[in-house]
Amino acid sequence: MKNRFIAALLVLVIVLFSGCAKQVNTNNSSVSIESSDTQTSISSSQQSSKISSSSSEISSQKPLTDEDKAEQILADMTLEEKIGQMFFLTFRGGDDTDKLLELDDSAIKQIESIQPGGVVLFGENIDTVEQIRSFIDTVQAESNLSPFISIDQEGGVVQRIKKTSKINATNIPQMFDIGKTGDTDLAKQVGNVIGTELSVFGFNMDFAPDCDVFSNPKNTVIGHRAFSDDPNIVADMSIALSEGIKQSGLIPVCKHFPGHGDTVSDTHIGFAVSNKTLDELYETELIPFKTQIENGADMIMVAHISLPEINGDKTPATLSSNIVTDLLRDDLGFDGVAITDSMSMGAITENYSTSDATVMAVKAGIDMILMPNDPIKAYNSLIEAVKNNEISEERINESVLRILKLKYKYNLFEKDITADESLLGCDEHKQIINSID
C-alpha cells in the first residue's frame, strides 16, 4: 500500500513537473520570442537609423570639390610625376625642316619622360584641321594625365591659326581695334569666336587675353596687341574677352603680369626694364590684372620684365618673389596658376642657365615653367632641388594642386570632344568680326 502511495505520488509529481516545465518552456519561448522580436525590432530600428543617418549624411554631404579630386590624385603621385605637371612644353621644327606637323621620336620620348602638365603649339605645328587634331591626339595619348593644350591666339599679329586654303578659320583683328569700340558685349562675342574655333582642333586653353596697357608709345613688343592705353578700358575689355573664351569651354590666360606695355626693350631679346615704382604700377599697369583676379582669373602669365625700383636690380619678374609671391599672391590675392612667359626668351637665356632659372622661378612662386630651353635639364634640376632640400616637396604640392584643380574645373579628365569643323569661318563668326569698325 505504502509502495502504491509512493508510486502515485511520484506520478503526480511528474505530471505537475511536466506541466510546469511546459508552461515555463512556453513562457521562455514567449519571452524568447518577445526578446527575439524586441531584438529584431531594435536591430531593424538601429539599422534603419543607421541607413537613415547614412542617407542623411550622404544627402547632406557636399559633392567632391575640384580641390578634393585634385588632392586624391596628388596623394598618389610620385615626386617625378608632380614635377612633370609643372612644365609646359613645345615642339618646334624637326631635324630636316622648319615644320613639325607630327610628333617625332624625340618629342614623344620627351613627353614620356617628363609627362608635362601642358603643351603649346606654334605656327610650325599648323597645317590642316585633321593634322592639328592628330598632333593633339598624339600628345594626349602619350600623357598619363590630360595636359593643357594651348596656343597664342590673341588676334592681329599674334594668331597662330589663320584663314588659309587648308583651314577656313576666322581672322581676328588686333585687340586695339576692339578696344576702340568700347563695346564689351562685342569683345565677349569675339572671345567666343576665338574659343569656339580653337575647340574645333582640340585646344583647351588660349594664351589670351593680353592685359597689358599700351602706356608707352615707344613700346614695340606689345603695341596694338593691347586693347588700349587706358587701363580701365583694358580691364573691361579683357574681362569680356575672357568670358567669351570661357563660354566656349577654353581656359583664358591673362598676360603679361605685372604689365609689359611700358617697356621700350623686348624680353625676347634681353632685359626689358620698367622703372615704375609699385605705386605707379597700381595706378596703371596693375588695374587690368587686379580686375581679372577679382573676377576669378584662372591663370596668369608672368613677364620677364625687370623692375629695379621694386627689386633693386634687373631680376626678371618671373624669378622674383617680390613680384610673384608678395605682389601677385599676397597683395592681389591670386591663388590660380602662375606660369612664366617662355623661358627660352633672351631675358632668361642671356643671363641665367636653364637649371638656375627653373629653380629660381619656382622659389619665386611660379607654378608652371613654359618652354625651357632644355626641358630635360630643367626637369632634372627641379627634382634635384627638392631632393637636396633647396625646395620643399610641400612647395611643389602647392603648385601641382593648383594645376590639377584647374584641370578638374574645366573637365580636362573627361573625354574631349572636338567641335564641328563647320564652325570655322561660319557666317555668324564673320558677322561678329565685320561689325568691328
Which of the residues are catalytic?
Answer: 268, 341
Distant-in-sequence, close-in-space partners of 310: CB < 8 Å, separation ≥ 6: 277, 278, 320, 322, 323, 327
DSSP assignment string, 268-282: TTS--B----HHHHH
- 367 vs 140: CA distance, rounded Å: 21
Cell of 242: 575672357
Cell of 437: 569698325
The DSSP call for residue 345 is: S
DSSP 63-106: PPPHHHHHHHHHHT--HHHHHHHTEEEE----SS-S---S--HH
Which residues, 6+ apart, have CB-to-CB distance to 240 below 8 Å? 184, 185, 187, 188, 191
Q: How many CA atoms lie within 13 A of 399 on its CB side?
A: 29
CA dist., res. 37 & res. 34, Å (int): 5
Whether the Cβ atoms of residue 141 and residue 404 lie closer than 8 Å to each other: no
DSSP helix/strand/coil, 304: coil
d(CA 437, CA 430): 13
- CA dist 168 → 135, 153, 352 (Å): 19, 15, 42
